[in-house]
A and B are shown apart, each in its own frame.
Chain A
Amino acid sequence: NAGVMQNPRHLVRRRGQEARLRCSPMKGHSHVYWYRQLPEEGLKFMVYLQKENIIDESGMPKERFSAEFPKEGPSILRIQQVVRGDSAAYFCASSLGQTSAIEAFFGQGTRLTVV
């Protein structure tokens, strides 16, 4: 059973471009969580999604950031008009259900570099 798959592993974008980060949860998992890890900082919650629903987006910046988890396909974290401060590692986690967030499995992350 493959783990949580994130791609790309590394992404370089110029300022002003769009970044799309993909997360395929573990088989059977319907809950997805996105976290951002800035240099020298811990992971910061961004958004919690179920299939076709955003459950909690309290950690998402108000502008330029959006996330979706469609009925079919991976979850997407989209960053429009990237700035240097968006450079970070973005991790996705998945779980079977809400109460299993405690035991969510993390992917290997996407490292975004904005130049």
Chain B
Amino acid sequence: QKEVEQDPGPLSVPEGAIVSLNCTYSNSAFQYFMWYRQYSRKGPELLMYTYSSGNKEDGRFTAQVDKSSKYISLFIRDSQPSDSATYLCAMIDRGSTLGRLYFGRGTQLTVWP
């Protein structure tokens, strides 16, 4: 079993839709949870991160962490064609040097006009 599982999609939605992206994980020591956006042939770009459980909102993006279920989500409201990219979840283990990120394989999202 991989430490971080993420459905690769692809996911295709119309402009304006609410998008839900999810990851599950098996390591209960993960304490920081990140979401990255990666455009084709580019490097990952950090969207937001959350510490432990709870919600965090930033504009059209909301991240949720449920540590009891080992489940994290990213919601995108009012999705735009410019949101079309691959979204990667990532996590850090509190017992590590805090230098190693564990990534999901990414979900490919297309928002069509």
Contact = CB atoms under 8 A, between A and B. Distances in A.
B46 interface: yes
A63 interface: no
B60 interface: no
Contact of A55 (B41, B88, B92, B99): B99
B49 interface: yes
Contact of A4 (B43, B101, B102): B43
Contacts of B88: 42-43
A37 B13 CA distance: 26
Give the interface size bracket for A toward B: 20 to 34
B1 interface: no
A42 B3 CA distance: 12
B44 interface: yes
Interface string A86-98: 0000010100001
Interface in B1-38: 4, 6, 8, 32, 34, 36
Given A91-B43, A103-B49, A44 B103 contact: yes
Interface in B40-68: 41-46, 49
Contacts of B43: 4, 91, 93, 106-109
In the complex, the 6 A-B pairs of residues with the closest C-beta atoms, listed nearest first? A48-B99, A106-B43, A42-B105, A42-B103, A43-B103, A45-B100
A91 B98 contact: no
A103 B42 CA distance: 17
Contact of A43 (B44, B96, B98): B44
